Amino acid sequence: MEESKLPRPYKLIKDFDFSFQPKLNKKLIMDLATMEFIKNKESILFIGDCSTGKSHLARSLGLIGCQYKHRVYYTTCANMIKDLNKGVYEKTLEKRMYKYVSAELLIIDEMGHDRLELEVTKEAHLLFKVIDERYNLNRSLIFTTNVEEEDWVDYLGDPISTRAILDRIFHRSIKVEIKGESCRKYEGNLLQQKYMQ
């Protein structure tokens, strides 16, 4: 769990408020929590509105993966690109790539929260490089984003790499859409009500 780099405090499935996201298929999430998707060499794409629980679920599944003795590695999309881009300039790219490619389960969180500064196409290609190597090795991925599929080209800034990334991510992924109100706004309102009584 320490090597996974999962942020603390750890997120637990039991703490996720499924009643707040009634359109989310709870049975699907509990099925994913069995970690069969790793055995089946499948991936998960959480896509939807901001603050709807995508990261909570991704991190919860990562924690369960650790408990099942799978090698898990967590990163945000922006931090991974920044790290790999640094590797290009320092000529340490292959060494840095290893941690993203070697884990049985890689969690790439928050594509869309910190807009990537992809001013040159090679940075989009770095994301493709990770996705492609894991795809070729049949290794599982959990990817979270609030960027709709049709907007990925604009976000990543490279149509060719984006099409290749989408093709690989969607091919073996279980797509979980979470549309709804902001969890943070909901919790904030509950706090207000608590002190207004």
Domains in the chain (CATH in brackets) are: 13-196 (3.40.50.300)
pLDDT digits (tens, 9 = 90+) for 95-137: 999 999 999 999 999 987 655 544 444 578 899 999 999 999 9
Residue at token pair 């679920």: 57
- The structure tokens listed for 14 are 């039991």
User: Which pLDDT score is estimated for 181?
Assistant: 73
- 124 or 43: which leads in pLDDT: 43
Say which amino acid occupies 28. Answer: L
**Which residues on neighbouring strands pair with residue 145, listed in sequence order?**
47, 111
User: Which pLDDT score is estimated for 193?
Assistant: 72
pLDDT digits (tens, 9 = 90+) for 155-175: 787 788 888 999 998 889 999
User: Which pLDDT score is estimated for 123?
Assistant: 72
What's the predicted TM-score (pTM) here?
Answer: 0.90
User: Which pLDDT score is estimated for 11?
Assistant: 94
Instruction: DSSP letter for 10, please.
Output: P
Cα–Cα distance measured from residue 12 to residue 177, given in angstroms and rounded to the nearest whole number? 19
User: Which pLDDT score is estimated for 118?
Assistant: 47
Cα–Cα distance measured from residue 78 to residue 83, given in angstroms and rounded to the nearest whole number? 9
pLDDT digits (tens, 9 = 90+) for 52-90: 999 999 999 999 999 999 999 999 998 999 899 999 999
